[in-house]
Structure 1
C-alpha cells in the first residue's frame, strides 16, 4: 500500500500530507457485486492536464439485477461502457455512472465490464494545483489519489465501503523522462512508440478503490531491509531526485516509528500489499514559492517529526480502522494525537508525554482521556495489550464513539464512566481543590473534585512530608488525617491526567467545631 509523505506512504500508500481521514460512509450505495479484479490503464498528458483511461472490472453478481452503478466524478467523461464486447447504455450524473444491461445478470455468475473515460479530474482544493504540478526543477509531477481529487473518484469503481477487490493491475503510460509509481509490485516496464513507457503494477488485495493511487515524477527508488517480530521485510521509498540526500534522516525516523507502532498496535495492516513510501506534496511559502523539504521538515523539541508519525499512524487509524460517520471522526483524531504522546513517553517519560499534549493547539480531549486511562492502568504492559486488542477489534467493524467508550469501560478495573463523560462532553476541566485546615497545632490536608460530571472519580497522587498518598477524591471534602502536615512539602502529581489545581483559602477551626473560611 502506498503512503505519501510530503516528503507519502502506501500499503497504505502511506501519506504524510495530513490527508483527510476516511469515513465508513462513502458516496456510493451498496451494489450486488463481488469484485474480483480491477484492470486500470491510464495515459497521462501533463501538458494538457488530462487523462484517458480504461478500467475493466471482473466481478461476480450477488443478485439478479439489470442495472449497476459505479462512482465517477462528473469532471470525467465516459466515452463508452462495454459488456460482452458490445456497448451498453449508460448515464453519468451526480458522481454516479449508471449502467443498464441488455439482460438481467444472474446470481453467482462471473462477468466482465469495461469503461472508457477521459478528462481533467476536478481538484479537491481548486486553485492549488495538487494533481498536475511541477517540481523544483520544473519537471512534470503528477499525483492522482483520493486526497487531492474530488469525491466520487477519478476513475470508475465500486466505491461503497463494504466492497473490496481481490487484486488489481495498474498500467500507467507517460513519457520516458519520468518514473510512474503505483501501489503493489512492478510487473513490467515497456517502451512505447513516441518516447513513452508503460509501467505495470500488480496490487494484491483485499483492496478498496481508494488504495489505487498513481504518482509520476523524477523519482529515485530506495529500498532497505526491516525486521520486526522475527520476520524480514523490505521498505521501499520513492523520493524526488533532488531530495535524495536530505531524506535519509527521515527514513531512519520512519523505520523507528514503524517499529514503535507495530509494537503498540500490532503488525502493519498492509504487508500483503507491500510497504512503499512516496513523496507526494510540494511545499510553498506564503508567497507561493516552493520550499525545499529541508525548510519544511524539522524535528520538534522532543527530537522527532510529529507530522511523519501522525501520518504513519494513519495506516492503523484512518485506513485500516475507520470512523463509522463524520460525528465519530473525533475518535480517530484522538487516537492519532495520543499516539504522538505515547511516542514521547516511549522516548522519554510520562511527564514529557503530558507536556507534549499540553503543547498541542487543537482540542485533544479524546487524547487526554486515553492518556488519563493509561495512568489508571496499573501496568504499562496491560495497557499496551488493551491497545492491541482495540486495534484487532475495530479492524473488523466501523469505529463509533459509543463503541470506543464501551470498549475501555469494559476493560478497566474500576468504573470510570464519569471520567469518560467529563472529558468528552464538557469543555471545562475538572478542578482538584485542596486546603490545609488547622486544628490548633495540627494541620490536616483536605481535598475534593469540582467537576460538572456527577460522580467524577479520577484518583490522584500527592506527596507531603516525604510520604506518597493515592487519593480517591469525590465532590465532597475528605481529609487526610495524619500527623501535622507542612503545606510547603506538598507535591501533586500532575502528569497522570488532565485537570487544574486550585488551593482554597485556608480554613481555621472554630472553638465550637464549625469551620469558616479564613
Structure 2
C-alpha cells in the first residue's frame, strides 16, 4: 500500500503549513459537513455521518517502558453525501498531521471529535483516503457501569479494547458498530515483546533499534469496538481445527498453566458451533489471556477474544467464541440491540451444556424462573429487571436481562416453533446477515417469516414486556 505520509513536524508548524496549503475549498460540489454523531440511543455522539469506512490501515509503535503510542492511520472511506468536512472520533492523543488523498487538510479538535476539512469538497460516492499522524499516552475511559475500556497499560505491556467506544482512545475512526470495515494493523514493539491483533499474522520482522514489527490482516468486516492491539511478553502457541481454521493463542506466562484446560477445547467448540450455527465466519480464531487484573471482564474481540487472566471455566471460552457468529459476524445496528449479541452467546452456553451431558436448555430456563442456582448460577440475578430489547440506559447494556432474559427469549421461540424450525432459523440468521448488521426489528421480522409462526406474544411478554415473565 502506498503510504505518502507527511513528515513529522512540530504541531504549530503543521497547523501553519496546513492553513496555507488548504485555504481554499472546491466550489463545484456544494458539500456540507458530515454529522458529528449517529444519534445512537445510548451513545449519540458515537460514530459520524456522511461516509462509510471501507478499510483501516493502522501503523502503531509502542514502548511499554514509557507508555507512548505513535500512530499513523490511513482510513479509506466512501462519501455518502457531498462533504465539505467530516469528523473522526478520537479521544486524547496529539494529532500531528492530516491529509486527504495526499493533500494536506485543515483540522480542529473539540472534545472527542476530530473535524477534517479537505482542500476540495468530496463528491457523493467518492472513495477517499484520510491519513492521520498522532501520538501520546493513551488514556482509558470509564464507562457508565464503572468498567474501564480503551487503551489499558499494565506493568509490562498494554491492551486496546473498545466496547462500546474505547477504540477511539488509540486510533481515529468512525467508532460505531454500524460502520464495519476490513483492517490491517501493524504494531512495532521492543525486541522480546509480542504484539497481537485481529485476523492473521502476515509477517514478523526484526527492524532497526532492537524492535520487532508484527503485521496483522483482518479481511472480513469488523466493527471498531472489536479491534484489539495487545503488547506484552506472551507465550504463543498455534494450531488448526479439523475444518482448517487456524488457531493463535497468546497467553501471559503467569497464566499459562491455569489457562491450559479451559483453552484446550477451542477446536472442539468451533467445530460444534459450525454444526449448530453454520460455518465459522472467519479464517482464524484463538485467544489472548492477559495478566490477571489487567481487565475486569472478557471481550469477544474479533477472532481472538481477550480474557482478564486465565478463563475460570470452559463456559466463558464457549461464550466468547459464540460471539464470533453473534455480535462479530452479525453485529448490532445500535447499542440498543446488544441482546442479539449476549442473548445468543448465553443461549449457546445452554446448548453446549445440553449437547455435552449437562443441564438442558429447558433446565436452564426453568432454573431462572424458579431461582435454582444449583442448575444455573445466574438464577439469583435480577434477570427480569427490564426488557432485554429496551435497557434503561448505557449503564445497563451489559446487565443480566440482556444476557439471561435474552437467552430466554430465544428458548421461548424454540418452545413455540419446535427444534427443527428453530435451529433452521438460527442458522439462517447467521448466514443471511453474515458480516453485516442487524437490529431487533430485523430479528423479530426474520424469526416470524422463517418459522411461519406468529410470535407476537413472545415479543410482547419476553422481549419488550416490563413485568417479570411467568
* TM-score, L = length of structure 2: 0.70
Which structure would you say has the larger Rg? 1
Partner in structure 1 of residue 413 of structure 2: 373
Residues 287-325 of structure 1 show CA distances to partners (whole Å, capped at 9, x for unaligned) of xxxxxx9996444xxxxx322222222212222223333
Partner in structure 1 of residue 46 of structure 2: 27
* TM-score, L = length of structure 1: 0.64
Q: Name the SS for the 1:342 alignment partner.
A: helix
Query: Structure 1 residue aligned with 2:325, among 309, 316, 326?
Result: 316
Contact 1:70 1:156 in 2 (8 A): yes
Shift of 1:109: 5.3
Query: Structure 1 residue aligned with 2:121, among 79, 89, 104?
Result: 104
Partner in structure 2 of residue 54 of structure 1: 72
Shift of 1:269: 2.0
Partner in structure 1 of residue 31 of structure 2: none
Query: Structure 2 residue aligned with 1:67, among 59, 62, 85?
Result: 85
Query: Does 1:266 pair with 2:278?
Result: yes
Distance in 2, matches of 1:104 and 1:122, equals 33
Query: Does 1:176 pair with 2:185?
Result: no
Distance in 1, matches of 2:75 and 2:349, equals 40
Unaligned residue ranges in structure 2 (runs of 5+): 1-40, 297-306, 384-403
Give the paired residue count.
384
Map 1:99-248 to 2 at 5 A: 99-106=116-123, 111-125=128-142, 131-134=152-155, 140-147=156-163, 150=166, 152-165=168-181, 167-227=182-242, 231-248=243-260
Query: Structure 2 residue aligned with 1:342, among 351, 354, 359?
Result: 351
Partner in structure 2 of residue 333 of structure 1: 342
Contact 2:72 2:131 in 1 (8 A): yes
Partner in structure 1 of residue 262 of structure 2: 250
Query: Structure 2 residue aligned with 1:280, among 272, 286, 290?
Result: 290
Shift of 1:156: 1.5
Change beyond 3 A, Cα 1:155–1:428: closer
Distance in 1, matches of 2:455 and 2:86, equals 49
Contact 1:342 1:353 in 2 (8 A): no
Unaligned residue ranges in structure 1 (runs of 5+): 1-21, 135-139, 287-292, 300-304, 431-518
Higher strand share: 1
Change beyond 3 A, Cα 1:281–1:95: farther
Change beyond 3 A, Cα 1:340–1:78: same
Partner in structure 1 of residue 396 of structure 2: none
Query: Structure 2 residue aligned with 1:41, among 43, 59, 64?
Result: 59
Shift of 1:91: 0.6
Query: Structure 2 residue aligned with 1:382, among 414, 421, 432?
Result: 421
RMSD: 3.5
Shift of 1:220: 1.9
Bigger relative contact order, structure 1 or 2 (CA pairs below 8 A, ≥6 apart): 1
